[in-house]
Amino acid sequence: MTDVWPQLEPLLARVQKPARYIGLEDGAVAPAHQPHQVAWLLAYPDTYEIGLPNQGLQILYEILNERDDALAERTYAPWTDLEDLMRAGGVPLFSVDAHRAASDFDILAFNLSAELTYTNLVNMIDLAACPVRAVDRGPGDLLIGAGGHCTYNPEPIADFVDFVVLGDGEEAVGDISAVVAAWKAAGKVDRRGVLVALAAVPGVYVPSLYDPAWDASGTFLGLTPNHPDAPAVVEKRTIADLADWPYPKRQLVPLTEVVHDRLNVEVFRGCTRGCRFCQAGMITRPVRERPADQVRHMVAEGLRRTGYDEVALTSLSSADFSGIEDVVAGIVCGGEGGPDGAAGGAGQVSVSLPSLRVDAFTVGIAGELQRARRSGLTFAPEAGTWRMRQVINKLIREEDLYEAVDAAYRSGWRRVKLYFLTGLPTETDEDTLGIARLARNVVEIGRRYHRGASVTVSVGGFVPKPFTPFQWFGQNTLVELRRKIGLLRDALPRDHGVQLKWHTAEATVAEGIVSRGDRRLADVIEDVWRAGGTFQEWSERFDLSRWTEALDRHGLTLEHFVYRHRTPDEALPWDHLSAGLHKDFLWQDWQDALAEVGLEDCRWTPCYDCGACTGYGIEHVVASATPPAGGSQGTGQDLGRGGAVPVVLLGVDRAPVEVAS
């Protein structure tokens, strides 16, 4: 075992935030490594304060450390100040739990939640004293794995990783540990052999067992297995019952400030709303709810152990959780209304519901939330007009939004945040300016109750993602995205109670490069990394020119990877992987989007046959209850599927337009 601490400790006085690297959190473990155990180093490729709250990593950390045949420690991307000192002093990537060198582990496994962290992944592999390209690794080198939402198109990083886990990891990590344990027992002599064995694990994709092909024009033709045991299609892994996995049981409590520093309890996984832009909602289907009693127990035990006074009930649409008002009431009331003495009395605990849907937010929820400490509320209409919301299938009427914010302001909130996307398929300037109109109307509602009521409008550029109906859409150009932000800046003067914030168009374009790319982008990612392009998620570190210059060096273009529309018959880089969704369902949903046809939540309709429930022992049952208010109810719109739809794409103006100052 290599203890890095004697080398690391003298360096910490010379870096910006030494607490990032010391570990010692409440709930952390420093397991003793045993020869028969598979040692996992779980990595988040961003700073400690961003990665520490990640629930996926914390869940696997606990599950692996409960096993007899495995153990796990954690690592995060060192900031540039420490990295410089590490490289100068020969200090390798290390775990924060026991400060062991990465080379002491068998597997370095990354949680990938954002594409712009790919250069950090390469950097951390290099810091771990491991060849960055999988083809250059020998039997004694680390196995490099990855999981998370980004791995539904792992091809841009396929040359850097040895295996990828699609879908839920709770069961998969045990199967992987068994395979690697057998390899260790045999002396780690045959690296390709262990990769072939990993490919037999459901949900595991081994890129080196597949060969990509392109034609003379550079058009991608698909991937072909180069080993008889490699499956033609890799299906994602799905746990059927969330109640069987009540993790994390011991959420880590950091010693320093991190994002989302609160108790986080996942209430359900998956989503049936069918928002066409939302990759998470598509790839995590089917919906699996955690029993309400289990949620209450996890909250009560978590509050008791951690000392937090804020709870986030996490999911893709938390207000859709069955009985959400009763659960929130029990948490806020604590010892009076909640089981197990969840808190010390009424008003002691603040509850947040991330991913609030406007049409699921009720006066009852507002009333319960306001009994505790109030912070801001965030709603996500996503688009500024009803036409545009039908295109993206976010079936929220303006009345839904106004009723929700009225309930919030009336219950005591003074500020509301609204999140929108720009650059969506068929988007026009009228749709863009609809964002400003909605924001002004929300401020007017707030000022009925509070003189200083305000609204923050946050706008992100849309990036089409794999396994969504919009995977065929040509992303808006850099010029067009800048122009649309300029329209909003002109339409929303700062002195009207509305603050406008936006994600830079340059970062949106860079994310688009790697979101739907193929293996040729490995050279681009490595070039950006070697040019110093780490922490591309951070505005002070991001530089689009690094990406465009790297594309140029390798004969690749933004037009090909980002701006062009895909055709229905072309091979997509992720066609050999399955998120459980039928490709013809996604294509039909794309056609429905272009026809401005919305589809109701499938809990209230006959099955759309998306494929998500197939194979998991889950039968589609139409709920007998009345659907919630909102959505398409009372709109007078025909939400049924129609006939053939012409492919007409608007709002993708390629002309050079000056950005408003």
Q: What is the 3-state secondary structure (H, E, C) of 422-459?
A: ECCCCCCHHHHHHHHHHHHHHHHHHCCCCCCCEEEEEE
pLDDT of residue 99: 98
Confidence bin at 443 (pLDDT 50/70/90): very high
Segment 100-108 shows an average pLDDT of 98
Residues 213, 215, 217, 220, CA torsion sign: negative
252-277 pLDDT, tens per residue? Answer: 999 999 999 999 999 999 998 999 99
Residue 346 pLDDT more than 90? no
Segment 64-68 shows an average pLDDT of 97
Q: Find, among 119, 35, 25, the residue nearest to 77 by Cα.
A: 119
- Cis before 286 (ω within 30): yes
Mean pLDDT, the chain, rounded, equals 89
pLDDT of residue 338: 40
pLDDT of residue 376: 63
pLDDT of residue 23: 96
Q: What is the DSSP code (8-state) at residue 85?
A: H
Output b/e per residue, 138-156; b: 16+ Cβ within 10 A. Answer: eeebbbbbbbbbbbbbbbb
Confidence bin at 26 (pLDDT 50/70/90): very high
pLDDT > 90 in the chain, percent: 79
Q: Compute the residue count for the chain.
A: 661
Q: Find, among 209, 206, 158, the residue nearest to 526 by Cα.
A: 158
Q: Which two tokens stand for residue 333?
A: 């009331």
Confidence bin at 351 (pLDDT 50/70/90): confident
* Spatial contact of 146 and 112, defined as CB atoms under 8 Å apart: yes
pLDDT of residue 44: 98
The CA R_g of the chain, rounded to the nearest whole Å, is 25
**Rounded CA separation 497/460 (Å):** 20
Least confident of 14-23, 386-395, 618-627, 629-638: 629-638
The C-alpha angle with vertex 200 and arms to 197 and 204, in degrees rounded to 5, equals 100
**Rounded CA separation 45/443 (Å):** 39
Residue 130 pLDDT more than 50? yes
**Beta strands 263-266 and 268-269: pairing type?**
unpaired
Residues 513, 514, 516, 522, CA torsion sign: positive
* Spatial contact of 498 and 457, defined as CB atoms under 8 Å apart: yes
pLDDT of residue 336: 33
Q: Which two tokens stand for residue 372?
A: 């505790």
**Rounded CA separation 281/273 (Å):** 8
Q: Is 293 exposed, middle or buried (0-12, 13-18, 19+ CB in 10 A)?
A: exposed
pLDDT of residue 373: 53
Segment 240-259 shows an average pLDDT of 96
pLDDT of residue 341: 41
Please report, as a single letter, which amino acid is at residue 19.
A
Question: For residue 199, what are the CA distances in angstroms to 90, 175, 204?
Answer: 35, 11, 6
Contacts with 100 (C-beta within 8 Å, 6 or more apart), sequence order: 1, 2, 3, 4, 33, 73, 94
pLDDT of residue 638: 38
Please report, as a single letter, which amino acid is at residue 433.
L
Residue 18 pLDDT more than 80? yes
Segment 588-611 shows an average pLDDT of 90
Q: Find, among 600, 605, 581, the residue nearest to 238 by Cα.
A: 581
Main-chain dihedrals φ then ψ at residue 567, nearest 5 degrees: -100, 155
Segment 231-247 shows an average pLDDT of 96
Q: Find, among 14, 15, 60, the residue nearest to 38 by Cα.
A: 60
pLDDT of residue 213: 98
Least confident of 254-263, 359-368, 475-484: 359-368
Q: Which two tokens stand for residue 561?
A: 């990877």
pTM exceeds 0.85: yes
291-329 pLDDT, tens per residue? Answer: 999 999 999 999 999 999 999 999 988 878 888 888 888
Segment 224-231 shows an average pLDDT of 98
Q: Find, among 566, 630, 564, the residue nearest to 598 by Cα.
A: 630
Distance of CA 439 to the CA centre of its chain: 26
* E strands in 148-195: 163-165
**Rounded CA separation 121/127 (Å):** 10
pLDDT of residue 647: 34
Residue 369 pLDDT more than 80? no
- Of 5-9, 187-191, 268-272, 362-366, the range with the highest mean pLDDT is 5-9
Contacts with 656 (C-beta within 8 Å, 6 or more apart), sequence order: 479
Residue 605 pLDDT more than 90? no
Q: Which two tokens stand for residue 435?
A: 């964002």
pLDDT > 70 in the chain, percent: 87
**Beta strands 377-382 and 350-352: pairing type?**
unpaired
Percent of the chain that is helix, strand, coil (3-state, to 5): 40, 15, 50
Output b/e per residue, 459-482; b: 16+ Cβ within 10 A. Answer: bbbbbbbbbbbbbbbbbbbbbbbb
Sequential DSSP letters for 23-43: ---BT---PPP-TTSEEEEEE
Residue 356 pLDDT more than 70? no
Segment 429-442 shows an average pLDDT of 97
Residue whose entry in the numeric block shows the structure tokens 């599950």: 63
Confidence bin at 33 (pLDDT 50/70/90): very high
Residue 9 pLDDT more than 80? yes
Q: In what order do the strands lie in the sheet with 263-266?
A: 263-266, 310-314, 350-352
Please report, as a single letter, which amino acid is at residue 503.
H
Q: Find, among 162, 279, 155, the residue nearest to 222 by Cα.
A: 155
